[in-house]
């Protein structure tokens, strides 16, 4: 028989098995090492991607905060301008109301000429027959000297030039004649 055809002795078989086992182990360890290397590379790539994403997010937050701050400042400035405009309008209206109040009286009471009301000619149309009651007035030439009370229910005009005070009663509104 030929040596080539003869089966290998048992020691050689074991050696080949050991060699094959070691080779298989090397292949498995190499494959695991390669897989671990790939996993580490992937983790490194993912880690850098996460770092980049976090940086982009931080930049976006910073940009959004800057835009919000700018928008807030612009809106606040617009509100300040509107507040100033409304304040000027309010002052104009208050001045007009003050002029009207200074030129009209309707509440019962005594008004000092030159202090509470302006001197000059004052007129009323009466109560227009609405209440059915009469209006009355008294002119004071000095602090304590009243004239005789006057009662009326229609239009009436009084000159308060040189008078100290003017007292009114009833539903009439008096307007200063310019």
Q: What's the confidence (pLDDT) of residue 48? A: 81
Distance CA 94, CA 76 (A): 26
Please give the structure tokens belonging to residue 74: 């612009």
Torsion of CA 31, 34, 40, 42, to 10 degrees: -100
| Radius of gyration in angstroms for the set of CA atoms belonging to the chain, rounded to a whole number | 53
User: pLDDT averaged over consecutive 10-residue blocks of the chain (178 residues)?
Assistant: 59 72 74 70 75 87 90 92 89 70 83 90 82 86 83 92 92 90
Contact 139, 147 (CB under 8 A): yes
Q: What's the confidence (pLDDT) of residue 85? A: 92
The predicted-structure confidence for 18-44, as pLDDT tens digits, reads as follows 777 777 777 777 776 777 677 766 777
Phi/psi at 22 (5° precision): -65, -40
The DSSP bridge partners found for residue 30 are none
């Amino acid at each position: 028989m030929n040596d080539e055809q003869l089966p290998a002795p048992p020691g050689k078989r074991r050696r080949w098995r050991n060699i094959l086992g070691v080779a298989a182990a090397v292949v498995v360890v190499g494959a695991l090492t390669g897989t671990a290397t790939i996993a580490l590379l992937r983790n490194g790539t993912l880690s850098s991607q996460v770092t980049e994403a976090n940086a982009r997010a931080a930049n976006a937050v910073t940009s959004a905060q800057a835009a919000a701050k700018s928008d807030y400042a612009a809106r606040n400035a617009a509100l300040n301008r509107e507040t100033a405009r409304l304040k000027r309008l309010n002052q104009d209206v208050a001045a007009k109301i003050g002029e009207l109040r200074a030129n009209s009286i309707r509440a019962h009471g005594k008004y000092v000429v030159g202090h509470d009301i302006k001197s000059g000619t004052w007129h009323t149309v009466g109560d227009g027959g609405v209440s059915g009651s009469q209006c009355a007035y008294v002119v004071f030439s000095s602090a304590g000297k009243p004239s005789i009370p006057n009662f009326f229910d229609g239009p009436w005009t009084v000159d308060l030039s040189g008078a100290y005070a003017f007292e009114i009663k009833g539903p009439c509104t008096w307007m200063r004649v310019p």
